[in-house]
Amino acid sequence: MKLSVVGTGYVGLVAGTCFAESGNDVICVDVDEAKIAALRRGEVPIYEPGLEELIRRNVAQGRLTFQTDLADAVRRSDICFIAVGTPEGKDGEADLSAVMAVAKGIGAAMDGYRIVVDKSTVPVGTAARVEKIVGAATNHPFDVVSNPEFLKEGAAIDDFQKPDRVVIGCRSERAWKAMEQLYKPFVRTGKPILRMSPESAEMTKYAANAMLAARISLMNEIANLCEATSSDVEDVRRGVGLDERLGSAFLFPGVGYGGSCFPKDVKALIKVAEGHSLEARILRAVDDVNNRQKGWLFDKARRFVADDLTGTRLAVWGLSFKPKTDDMREAPSVVLIDALLAAGATVAAHDPVAMPVARRIFGERIDYFDSAYDALRGAAALLIVTEWPEFKQPDFARIRELLGTPLVIDGRNLYDRDDMASMGFRYVAVGRQPVGGE
């Protein structure tokens, strides 16, 4: 099939590349000339394991191209995907201005039947709005489809190529058959392609993210209760996770969720509810708990290092909102570092891939280290924000030697409490009683 994908962020770039990998001819379009030029040179603007290799292979084989000319891409495509950003707008609403601008551009460029696919995360009713925008710009026939993505940053290639399910929201039989054919190579193991209305497809995406965010916030509330009651959240997590009705996924306590999806989508769903005169009480609580949880590391630093952090040097491991990505949108590290700097502390930071992004956020206000161990030298404590694999089994003797004080405040519960105490550390973890020290 001949496809165009408008938008070269996480969703658009991954989708376009994976579609090309399965044999389709794909044109990726973006208004950012510098980004398109970089992609043509083989430079990938985001960190996603496996993506760079796939892009280079499909570009070399002529199935994947990059350009800024939307009209040309539409005229050379059968299916046009809209995969532009829908950032949080005023009062938490999703900003759909880019989606509507692309829809208008697609309509104006059409020279025959096209399938227009909403791949961006959009509120319920967006497909209907896109249909009106496109219809006002063309006299040619077309169908609008809602096809939400369910990708995890850091595992997006695998998620796209081996999906749990594919959701297709459409009313047209012609569009359904085309989309079903497009996705058949990705569901050969028997995973379902679900057909539903565009409205149901749009709600499915928001509902999935909201439920996952709710599990995280609920587990963090349980963790805070464990700290207050001398319970151990790791024992509780294991006991709860073995219940087949609940499962163990997304039951790990920590310092809150971040990224481009959960925070934005929870707020957007709250606004959808308000638009229908409904009060989303649980979702508001999910958002509130998450915002409070992002302050956990700073609160523990003030309690276990010093109430007055002026002039105190602290090491921070992990800047991205999760491992295997350089994405720092809504990352707990940003909240932590802002608070530490406001309190007069000095921050020594390390992340395996996100430090260039951090430099754009913090500039030279913090110190950056390519080596995780170099960041520890002379620090009063190590604060762990992101659970990168390389942080899970470090050289503890070296950590203890480099730290000014053998204090580890672990926002991801990476280590065994008893082991840390036996090695001479003061160890503080989420939902667990501190060990070691006085």
Residues taking part in catalysis: 261
- Contacts by residues 179-187 (CB-CB < 8 Å, ≥ 24 positions apart): 179/79, 179/115, 179/117, 179/145, 179/147, 181/1, 182/1, 182/3, 182/19, 182/24, 182/79, 185/22, 185/23, 186/18, 186/22, 186/160, 186/161, 186/162, 187/163
Burial class (CB in 10 A: 0-12, 13-18, 19+), 14: buried
Amino acid 47 reads Y
Which tokens belong to 414?
A: 């990476």
Using DSSP's 3-state secondary structure scheme, residue 25 falls into strand
Using DSSP's 3-state secondary structure scheme, residue 320 falls into coil
Q: How far apart are CA 281 and CA 230, in angstroms?
A: 29
DSSP state of 368: E
Inter-helix orientation angle 126-137/198-229, to 10°: 140
Rg (CA), the chain: 24
Among 198, 144, 196, 210, smallest CA distance to 165 is for: 196
Kindly give the residue spans of alpha helices, DSSP state H, lying in 61-152. Answer: 70-75, 97-109, 126-137
